[in-house]
């Protein structure tokens, strides 16, 4: 078997309907730091051709901003100006569509973060679940930001929360 070095996650792009509001929300609720932008990118900008190549012919004008998280992974916020954003008021989690359907953050004080999310226009969309043995220690919940992005919260790191299960792929090597 050939070893492939794991590639670090660089950033996650999130579409929002209000870039300025989203910047403030991600700063004030999750503590992310704005380090670049916001920028208006149009077809007549120096990167107009790149915008259409990457985002497609329908894209004429977007606003973007870049934020840093606590773990070094960036958040790139996108607001489509032309065409106007397609807003969805669905309550369900779109787990059945290809592509990412949520982001996940780690916070040992899960209840306090749920309160901050709820008091700032977001919503808790699941119960708090005890996720693994010992069940009183490891918790998770699903919330949504005010712009519709699903945010999962765990009290512990990803490898701690998910790594306790025996993987058939590892056992069969």
Count CB neighbours of 75 within 10 A.
22
Top CATH class, 94-173? alpha beta
Nearest to residue 93, comparing CAs of 84, 85, 103, 106? Answer: 103
Identify the helix (H) or strand (E) that includes residue 28.
helix 19-30
Length of the chain as a residue count: 173
Identify the helix (H) or strand (E) that includes residue 77.
strand 74-82
> Left, alpha or beta for 99 (phi > 0: left; psi -120 to 50: alpha)?
left
Task: Dump pLDDT digits (tens) for 81-139.
Answer: 988 877 666 666 776 666 788 999 999 999 999 999 999 999 999 999 987 767 678 89
Provide the CB-side half-sphere exposure for 122 (13 A, CA): 26
Query: What would the CATH number be for the domain defined by 1-84?
Result: 3.10.180.10
> What is the spatial distance between Cα 113 and Cα 10, in angstroms, rounded to a whole number?
24
pLDDT at 73 over 50: yes
> What is the spatial distance between Cα 32 and Cα 159, in angstroms, rounded to a whole number?
22
For the four alpha carbons of 75, 50, 88 and 146, in that order, the dihedral sign comes to: positive
pLDDT at 108: 94
Task: Dump pLDDT digits (tens) for 15-59.
Answer: 999 999 999 999 999 999 999 999 999 988 888 888 888 888 888
pLDDT at 173: 47
Range(s) of the chain covered by CATH 3.10.180.10: 1-84, 94-173
Which has the higher per-residue pLDDT, 22 or 7? 22
161 phi and psi, to 5 degrees? -70, -45
């Amino acid at each position: 078997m050939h070893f492939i070095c794991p590639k670090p996650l660089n950033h996650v792009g999130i579409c929002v309907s209000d870039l300025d509001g989203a910047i403030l929300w991600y700063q004030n609720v999750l503590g992310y730091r704005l380090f670049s932008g916001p920028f208006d990118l149009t077809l007549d900008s120096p990167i107009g051709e790149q915008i259409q190549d990457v985002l497609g012919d329908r894209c004429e004008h977007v606003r973007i901003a870049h934020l840093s998280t606590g773990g070094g992974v960036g958040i790139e916020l996108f607001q489509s100006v032309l065409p106007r954003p397609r807003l969805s008021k669905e309550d369900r989690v779109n787990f059945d569509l290809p592509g990412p359907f949520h982001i996940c953050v780690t916070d040992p004080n899960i209840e306090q973060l749920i309160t901050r999310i709820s008091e700032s226009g977001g919503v808790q969309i699941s119960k708090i679940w005890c996720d693994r043995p010992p069940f009183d220690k490891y918790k998770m919940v699903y919330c949504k930001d005010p712009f519709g992005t699903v945010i999962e919260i765990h009290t512990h790191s990803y490898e701690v929360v998910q790594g306790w299960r025996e993987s058939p792929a590892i056992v069969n090597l």
